[in-house]
Amino acid sequence: MEINKLLNIVFPPLFVIALLFILPPFLVLKLLFSTQRFVFKENVAGKVVLITGSSSGIGEHLAYEYARRGARLSLVARRTDRLQKVADKARQLGSPDVIVITADVSKIEDCKRFVDMTVNHFGQLDHLVNNAGVAHGTFFKETRNISDLVPIMDINFWGSVYGTHFAVPYLRKSKGKIIVISSAAGWLYPPGATIYSASKAAQIGLYESLRIECPEIGITIVTPGFVESEMTQRFRPAKYLKNEPTDDCAKAIVESTCRGDMYLTEPFWMRPLFLVKVLCPELWDWTCYWLIVHRRRALDKNA
């Protein structure tokens, strides 16, 4: 019998049996390590943190949370006036030094410039927070001009990759960290978020691989779901659900990063949904269809 055909039959059941033995000690070890990480978590006072998309939403509140902990900040976004206001508040909250850089993350030369300016000013880089992102909220079939979807990939995916490329040498030197503000959509692929989900999934894929390539850099992949921001203003999860306040989310992100977690989902209750998606994909698709696609069709008919 050909080796792959044999493995097809033998490997899956053997794997399940092996898992029964491996999983309990693995979970115990994991608990021990997470306790250790909790006790020896990083103090970011005086560290240099670069945050993209920090003029509003999660990025803005991350700036405040890092400021309260005494980190020095490099704030990057397209809107200079809003960025100045965030910088002023960050200084008041306790950041010893804040610089503001106007840049568009979808442009390679802008990304090179903000990393260079940060290192020239502070002499080092400790945390790179890839936060800048844009959303869209229409069904794929309603796309009028496919070119409209290109910026979503350019900002969400390439916009984190470019900055990361230029920052990696400095982060390796400082044994620093990368924080990726991805999205629960990057694992759940809800309807009405096709290109957005794809950009976030691409982002997750890149950093999962990079984490193994560069073990000296800690990478925390954050998958926010129902969190308050400009992006989610238009999407109410449901009448009875409320978006998590942005400052709570930002606090959880910095805590998680300082512990050196691999993943963080906010709000935390959304995490089991990833298991549903993996273990019962039919159930997930069916529920999403009835809650989102079917309801929209009914609404459109009545309109």
When the beta carbons of 104 and 285 are compared against ligand NAG, the nearer one is: 104
Interacting positions 174-193 with ligand NAG (CB under 6 A):
none
Given the residues 66, 189, 196, 207, the one annotated as active site = 196
How do beta strands 98-102 and 263-266 pair?
unpaired
When the beta carbons of 142 and 213 are compared against ligand NAG, the nearer one is: 142
Residue 243 identity (one-letter amino acid): N
Please, what's the b/e burial string for 34-46 (b: 16 or more CB within 10 A of its CB; e: otherwise)? Answer: eeeeeeeebebee
Residue appearing with tokens 């990726």: 180
Minimum CB distance to ligand NAG, residue 145 (Å): 4
Q: Are 106 and 87 in contact (CB under 8 A)?
A: no
Distance CA 64, CA 62 (A): 5
Distance CA 64, CA 294 (A): 41
When the beta carbons of 124 and 143 are compared against ligand NAG, the nearer one is: 143
Contact characters 90-129, ligand NAG, x per CB under 6 A: ----------------------------------------
Minimum CB distance to ligand NAG, residue 79 (Å): 22
Minimum CB distance to ligand NAG, residue 147 (Å): 4
Asked if 4 interacts with ligand NAG (CB under 6 A), we say no
Minimum CB distance to ligand NAG, residue 235 (Å): 24
When the beta carbons of 145 and 302 are compared against ligand NAG, the nearer one is: 145
Beta-carbon-side half-sphere exposure of residue 293 (alpha carbons within 13 Å): 16
Which residue(s) pair with 180 in the sheet?
Answer: 130, 221
Token pair for residue 47? Answer: 């560290």
* Binding residue count for ligand NAG, defined by CB under 6 A: 2
Helix (H, G, I), strand (E, B) or coil at 218: strand
Q: What is the DSSP letter of 238?
A: B
Minimum CB distance to ligand NAG, residue 153 (Å): 15
Asked if 142 interacts with ligand NAG (CB under 6 A), we say no
When the beta carbons of 40 and 140 are compared against ligand NAG, the nearer one is: 140
Interacting positions 45-74 with ligand NAG (CB under 6 A):
none
Active site residue 196: yes
Asked if 147 interacts with ligand NAG (CB under 6 A), we say yes
When the beta carbons of 106 and 220 are compared against ligand NAG, the nearer one is: 106
Q: Are 93 and 264 in contact (CB under 8 A)?
A: no
Minimum CB distance to ligand NAG, residue 150 (Å): 9
Cβ-closest residue to ligand NAG? 145
Least Cα distance to 106 among 77, 148, 137, 138 occurs for 77
In the sheet with 98-102, reading across from the earlier edge strand, the strands are 98-102, 72-77, 48-52, 127-130, 177-181, 218-224, 263-266
Among 1, 2, 141, 145, binds ligand NAG (CB under 6 A): 145
Which residue(s) pair with 127 in the sheet?
Answer: 49, 177
What are the angstrom distances between the C-alpha of 255 and each of 37, 39, 69, 97, 173? 11, 12, 11, 21, 23
Active site residues: 196
Residues within the interface to ligand NAG (CB under 6 A)? 145, 147
